[in-house]
Chain A
Amino acid sequence: MTDAIYPQVRIVSTRFLKPETAEQLLNRLIQVGGIRRMSINGPNLPATVPYGPARGQPNPHPDRKVIRVGDQDVQLQVQVGTIILELEDDSYIPGIEEAVDEVFADKGFSCTVQQGRYMKTKPTVSDYARYGPDADEKILGLVDPGKKGGPTIIQGTR
């Protein structure tokens, strides 16, 4: 959960990103700093075929890759379409916009930075019913807290 005092931005590109572009963008965003939490959204890329006659067979997908963000390896499980950020304060937003413009300058498609509220601030009754009283509040509302493997922590300079 988050306190409502922290500003949030959403980065939406008009095309789905290749892992290389996502890696480049995320590393550039980290340089801006001031990011408390980050969530990468997009359609799922399952490791096995989820349904149909070939259900359960391995699903090799070239975009389901490990990328290097800061000092951490991140296993991509989605095709990156949207990045949600929670910032420490408003002063970082121009820097984020600049970073996005810089990365997408030569890509041939656009990307917008929106401000708003994209993360939950309070657990809902459904969350309680689904995940129980001990669900990890840090990731509730961003990903399924029941999923194995917690968040990736990228150390800042402070």
Chain B
Amino acid sequence: MKVKGNMAYKPQYGPGTSKVAENRRKQMNPNQKLKKMRDVTDEDVVLILGHRAPGAAYPTAHPPLAEQQEPDCPIRKIVTPTEGAKAGDRVRYIQFTDSMFFAPCHPYQRTYTECYRFRGIDPGTLSGRQIVECRERDLEKYSKELINTELLDPARTGIRGATVHGHSLRLAENGMMFDMLQRSVLGEDGVVRYIKNQIGEPLDRAVDIGKPMDEEWLKANTTIFHSLGDSAYRDDKEYIEYVQRIHTLRTKYGFLPKE
């Protein structure tokens, strides 16, 4: 999805002068191509998601749009359906947990990023996890992008459909985020492999998602403020000013001020 060239204003994506703010803007801006970090195949993505067997046909929720009568609706004429919607796919999900220890992305950031970059999605943002729902065919395409790019670190990001606990806990001795179900394992060779799908069912074969990034890269690319380890939120004056302005305006609006 591209931002239209003829827009009346240039989107700013977010305030802030810090490195963290810069990383946030970079991820949100759909004109900025996300750096490709690893090569997880389509089949691997299907295995991790666990919604259907690799190679199986997409189960459908309704007949393809071309085969059914569409009501006369002006909105349907404006909006082009996505591939998944066109085929009548089921709505399925992928859910991420991001460690507070400098994960490259975090729930709110993921939602903003996805809304700017993808179409036909329904993200759900929670403190420790972020879920995105969409048509299965689209989901696999988007998931592949979310996994293969700099939005994911094999050790500090977890693909977890259920039992997500771990984002605010200490890391394990080997640097992996705590996972009750141990879906991904750091091998002797330093490569992280998914041995269970996102809901914790064992996979027939391990899915290789590459080596964890080093601490230096994580700190340079994180979108999380962390006063103890890296850039502190309060050091970014512009960010604070912006958030305080919104907070003040919202509070005042609660009292319905008369201009």
Contact = CB atoms under 8 A, between A and B. Distances in A.
B180 A45 contact: yes
Interface in A116-146: none
A15 B171 CA distance: 5
Interface string B163-195: 101100111111000101110010000000000
Name the interface size band of chain A. 20 to 34
B83 interface: no
A49 interface: yes
Interface of B is mostly: loop
Given A53-B161, A57-B200, A16 B170 contact: yes
Interface in A69-95: 79, 81
B42 interface: no
A46 B173 CA distance: 20
B173 A53 contact: no
Contacts of A49: 162-163, 181, 200
A18 interface: yes
A102 B165 CA distance: 32
A13 B162 CA distance: 27
A134 B128 CA distance: 39
A81 B170 contact: yes
B162 A54 contact: yes
A16 B169 contact: yes
A144 B173 CA distance: 28
Query: How many B residues touch the partner, as a band?
Result: 20 to 34
A62 B185 contact: yes
A63 B201 CA distance: 18
A101 B194 CA distance: 35
B199 interface: yes
Nearest to B169: A43
- Is chain A's interface secondary structure helix, strand, loop, or mixed overall? loop
A81 to B, nearest CB: 6
A39 interface: no
B178 A53 contact: no
Interface in A1-34: 13-18, 21
Given A52-B199, A54-B199, A15 B163 contact: no
B182 A61 contact: yes
A150 interface: no
Contacts of A57: 200-201
B173 A15 contact: yes
Contacts of B200: 49, 52, 54, 57, 59
A50 B163 contact: yes
Interface string A94-122: 00000000000001010000000000000
21 contacts: A16-B171, A16-B173, A17-B173, A18-B173, A43-B169, A43-B180, A45-B180, A49-B181, A49-B200, A51-B162, A51-B163, A52-B162, A52-B163, A52-B199, A54-B162, A54-B199, A57-B200, A60-B182, A63-B182, A79-B178, A81-B169
The 7 closest A-B pairs by CB, nearest first: A52-B162, A54-B200, A54-B199, A16-B172, A49-B200, A53-B199, A61-B182
Given A15-B172, A16-B172, A18-B173, 17 more contacts: A14-B170, A15-B173, A16-B173, A18-B172, A43-B178, A44-B180, A46-B180, A49-B162, A50-B180, A52-B161, A52-B162, A59-B180, A59-B181, A59-B200, A61-B181, A62-B185, A107-B173
